[in-house]
Copies of this chain bind each other. A is one copy, B any other.
């Protein structure tokens, strides 16, 4: 497994591979890998001849009061996990080589990023789309895999790819969960045992919404309330939002008549967690 730090070297590696006729898959990560990341990598392995993964805690997607400094990092451990896939090439740049002095260019998806996490995290998605555009230009993938856990991010990246004509296929992959339902996240390592238990209210809330949906409920307000009830029942969980939105446009909807996402964000202790499920009405 090759480890590359320099963007220019990564670009040369990618260009040479493309000229050889290789098909490159990219899994962009912030490291501290869990089974969710690994499921993306295994799917990338299956679909491409060269599997690249990036490990980069991207400073521009963190707000000034967020956890950039404390975000967990362990490249050695990540590399051991990636060897098992196996990943062919790891791109692990330093922040100063990704953002040169005087950098001032942003890629911004406007409408999709306004609500949900975008409301509480101004600038977050601008940082995400900018770094993903950079990674696409550096790693030159034919396809890139993203987890559905970061649902709004997935929508924003798909929109960016379409709007800027990136020749990259975006492959969404289902959220991977712990046995008890908690969506996997590198930030789960922040949780104390008590918080870990309280955090289950997110997936439980989404399950409650799904059960109501399966029973025939279609009102967004009622479905969101069913999820919210589970979250508010739990001590020490601060709900940021519970929303039912169109699964593609992320627009607000009154009732579920097309695929919809139920998305939640909550603080559990000092940790901000998100989760979502997609509800798919059976076509008539």
Nearest-neighbour CB distance to chain B for A87, whole angstroms, equals: 21
Given contacts A137-B167, A165-B11, contact A104 B111 (CB under 8 A): yes
Q: In the complex, are the beta carbons of B11 and A103 less than 8 A apart?
A: no
A and B contact pairs by CB, cutoff 8 A, 29 listed = A7-B165, A11-B165, A15-B167, A18-B18, A18-B19, A100-B162, A100-B163, A102-B111, A102-B249, A103-B162, A103-B163, A104-B109, A104-B111, A104-B112, A105-B108, A105-B109, A105-B159, A105-B163, A106-B110, A107-B133, A108-B108, A130-B164, A134-B163, A134-B164, A134-B165, A137-B164, A137-B165, A137-B167, A140-B167
The number of residues on chain A lying at the interface, defined by a beta carbon within 8 Å of a beta carbon of chain B, is: 34
Residue of B nearest to A129 (CB): B105
| A165: B residues at CB distance < 8 A | 7, 11, 134, 137-138
Other-chain contact of A160, B11, B105, B110, B111 (Cβ < 8 Å): B105
Nearest-neighbour CB distance to chain B for A1, whole angstroms, equals: 23
Interface flags for A1-36 (1: CB within 8 Å of B; 0: not) read 000000100010001001101000000000000000
| A18: B residues at CB distance < 8 A | 18-19
CA distance in complex: A249, B101 (Å): 12
Is A166 on the interface with B (CB-CB < 8 A)? yes
Given contacts A15-B167, A165-B11, A167-B137, contact A104 B100 (CB under 8 A): no
| A21: B residues at CB distance < 8 A | 19
Quickly give the copy total for this chain: 2
Q: In the complex, are the beta carbons of A106 and B105 less than 8 A apart?
A: no
Q: In the complex, are the beta carbons of A164 and B107 less than 8 A apart?
A: yes
Task: List A106-138 residues whose CB lies under 8 Å from chain B.
Answer: 106-112, 129-130, 133-134, 137-138
| A137: B residues at CB distance < 8 A | 164-167
CA distance in complex: A112, B107 (Å): 16
Interface flags for A130-171 (1: CB within 8 Å of B; 0: not) read 100110011010000000000000000001101111110000
CA distance in complex: A68, B15 (Å): 38
CA distance in complex: A165, B134 (Å): 6
Interface flags for A155-197 (1: CB within 8 Å of B; 0: not) read 0000110111111000000000000000000000000000000
